Structure 1
């Protein structure tokens, strides 16, 4: 009995951590999404629309983490943690289903962000001619990926584990088919590495742009636009490093273990570390992007950012 009590207490600690992270993820990314959505200056910038899409995905991830923690608390409180159900019952739980898809989309949206930066830095003239609908199309393709991957998850689980009561109601191991789990873990890690590789080329193009663009840009508006793009490029570079450490490395371990068909070491710890990535990213945005910080402060205080026109003719936001 003492052992069972200890295990129950440990379960509460694990799922409390899970839910607490979910709350922070939801609030932080939800605020970032609303800041961009409600700011006229931000939502008119295609790169910010893509970042808003990323924030929305991470907010959904946070909401699903909260929901799953609440569900598991309910199972623990009723003493049903050892009751057997089918993998289909687990996968069709809204929080578990949303977590699986949102993690995948988080990894893929990193590729979208890196690709967008590569276009912005390597082909700046072409990038300036793109508009907000361009960002909408990228996010639409991302949503389409989510639909197909969701369908694959549901269909593979339904037909691959039909009527197999092999998992518990806690769904800590949802029991999805091995082939889909292998695809999921490999895709998440692979997309992460692809985003890092693309950003390496962004860095090379950025170094070239720093030498070539600045001296030839004389128009005030162009100087301001170039400065915004440069600062965002550096910000996203920092975020790429953070994502590699806190998100890609844990999922690399999951992927390697999936290929070896063994249980990952300390899976709860690895999952906890990976969720910190979405929280740290918002902190980096707020620290590095002054306009974002100003607009979020205005949102939280229900005021409008103070703007005036400088001697150069450029609109300046009070910070």
Structure 2
């Protein structure tokens, strides 16, 4: 068991579980309705939810594996060193390497999506949901590419790391700056993109002539909603990343790093609140998901209580 604060560890694991419990039903509800999953804005939301859940599951698994199932003293100097390539297929290294990169770059893809929708609104909607799926898949594909590259570099080098395979030691020295600052830089890059979008909308230099009044209103509402999710990323993810980058790892302390990780997980709850607040149809769908489930269970209980069996003669 880790020497870290037990209440903090329990809080973090509870937060990881709640991210999945709260947000996964919304994704399932959207996928269950054909009309909803074919909307481009809902496709974007699905990928944002997927990134949040992927990170929560990865981070939760790492801490369960690292701080509960490992024996005391696992991080001491007595732990032997192994080639970094031995950790290429360690679950924690795989999941954390991928999820950290995806969580960082997914908002950049959203910002690019909004920029395209601003400059070419008519063509953007004509492309259909498949174009959004391709664009929002880029962060996952890029993360997989760099993971494979990192594995190749580990096989060709003589780098050694702890036999416990800590994910922060897994990146090859060549890719370590990318792994360390990718999330921070990607989130920061969304700020100038939204500044350009805001300027274009304010100056009305984009062409919306082929959109009717209702479409224009929805178009601007979606811009605002997804911009709010990016603001949540800046607050809950970029600020902790700046603190982590500015303070040396040894100085920062394990408990404080865990607190910062809990703050990053808070982005998922902020995003969920934004979806429910800004999309009335999603709010209704989410409520109906649980009310219908309750009604089905209640009807089943009533049917069972009123069931009369005819005795066998």
Q: How many residues align?
A: 286
Residue in 2 that maps onto 1:240: 230
| 5+ long unaligned stretches in structure 2 | 294-313
Shift of 1:127: 1.9
Q: Distance in 2 between matches of 1:90 and 1:26?
A: 27
- 1:274 pairs with 2:264: yes
Tell me: CA distance 1:80–1:25, structure 2 relative to 1, closer, same or farther (3 Å): same
- Retained in 1: the 8 A contact 2:184–2:238? yes
4+ runs of 1 displaced by more than 6 Å?
Answer: none
Residue in 2 that maps onto 1:36: 30
- 1:79 pairs with 2:69: no
Deviations 1:134-174 (A, max 9, x none): 11221343332122111123233444455x3x436383753
Q: Which has the higher contact order (CA 8 A, sep 6+)?
A: 2
Pick from 55, 63, 84 the counterpart of residue 69 of structure 1: 63
- Retained in 1: the 8 A contact 2:92–2:167? no
Pick from 14, 20, 27 the counterpart of residue 21 of structure 2: 27
- 1:250 pairs with 2:240: yes
Residue in 1 that maps onto 2:196: 201
Tell me: CA distance 1:55–1:281, structure 2 relative to 1, closer, same or farther (3 Å): same
What SS does the aligned partner of 1:250 have? Answer: helix
- 1:226 pairs with 2:233: no
Q: Which has the larger radius of gyration?
A: 2
Pick from 145, 166, 172 the counterpart of residue 177 of structure 1: 172
- Retained in 1: the 8 A contact 2:29–2:289? yes
Map 1:1-319 onto structure 2 (within 5 A): 8=3, 10-76=4-70, 78-79=71-72, 81-82=74-75, 83-86=79-82, 87-89=84-86, 92-162=89-159, 164=160, 166-167=161-162, 169=164, 171=166, 173-209=168-204, 222-256=212-246, 263=250, 265=252, 266-302=256-292
TM normalised by structure 1 equals 0.77
Q: Distance in 2 between matches of 1:88 and 1:13?
A: 34
- Retained in 1: the 8 A contact 2:98–2:147? yes
Q: Distance in 1 between matches of 2:7 and 2:90?
A: 22
RMSD: 3.0
What SS does the aligned partner of 2:169 have? Answer: coil
Tell me: CA distance 1:209–1:30, structure 2 relative to 1, closer, same or farther (3 Å): farther
TM normalised by structure 2 equals 0.79
